[in-house]
Amino acid sequence: MGELLTLFLSTVLINNIILSQFLGMCPFMGVSKNRSSALGMGFAVLFVIVGSSIITYFLYHGVLVTFGLEYLQLITFILVIACFVQFTELFLKKFSPSLYKSLGIFLPLITTNCAVLAVALENITKKYTIVETLVNSVGVSVGFMLVLYIFSTIRERLDMNTKTPKAFLGNPLALITAGLMALAFGGLAGLI
């Protein structure tokens, strides 16, 4: 139990997928202009990462290992993620219009989010069990959502600031902020 808690905390705070591994930077920069978008994207990523991690775990151990096709893991995982995103969009359209309205715009973006693929591959290369896979994928997603939300609140406040020099407006200031956030999260390295 203690090991699982350590794994969860380290994936959320210390080995954060965005700030320490620099994966998933596209949505981090693209969908962090306002809080509601950031939160919507965070929940969509949480759902897809956890779902695709479980499917890829069973596909790898149940099919690829059985046939001796471990070298196909990259291409099969990409296909699984693309299928999962299509299925999620279809399911939400049919059964949960309200959720589709809030997440629908972000779902196609997740297919191109490298963080989703990274988690699926990490679960295999680190030889995690199914419980560890679940904890790791939830931890990475929560870390992604946390950082994206914090970053969006900072960007909203920065956009209201009228004293910002013109040369720093927009992406330059966002990148400097991201760097400072990475330094701040780096300070949590001694936590565990």
Interface residues toward other proteins, by CB under 8 A: 26-27, 29-31, 33, 63-64, 66-69, 72, 75-76, 79-80, 82-83, 86-87, 89-90, 93-94, 97, 100-101, 104-105, 108-109, 112, 171
Closest contact distance (angstroms) between CB of 10 and other proteins is: 28
Q: Two tokens at 128?
A: 């995690």
Closest contact distance (angstroms) between CB of 191 and other proteins is: 32
Closer CB to other proteins, residue 7 or residue 44? Answer: 44
In degrees, rounded to 5, the angle at the alpha carbon of residue 69 between the alpha carbons of residues 67 and 70 is 125
DSSP string, 6-50: HHHHIIIIIS-TTTTT--SHHHHHHT-SSHHHHHHHHHHHHHHHH
Closer CB to other proteins, residue 8 or residue 57? Answer: 57
Whose structure tokens read 């997440």?
103
Closest contact distance (angstroms) between CB of 85 and other proteins is: 9
Closer CB to other proteins, residue 101 or residue 126? Answer: 101
Closest contact distance (angstroms) between CB of 186 and other proteins is: 25
Closer CB to other proteins, residue 29 or residue 146? Answer: 29
Q: Two tokens at 122?
A: 């990490």
Q: Two tokens at 142?
A: 């929560």
Contact 144, 17 (CB under 8 A): yes
Whose structure tokens read 């700030």?
19
Closest contact distance (angstroms) between CB of 94 and other proteins is: 6
Closest contact distance (angstroms) between CB of 72 and other proteins is: 6
Closer CB to other proteins, residue 82 or residue 158? Answer: 82
Closer CB to other proteins, residue 2 or residue 68? Answer: 68
Contact 31, 41 (CB under 8 A): yes
3-class DSSP state of 151: helix
User: What is the maximal distance between C-alpha atoms in the chain?
Assistant: 62
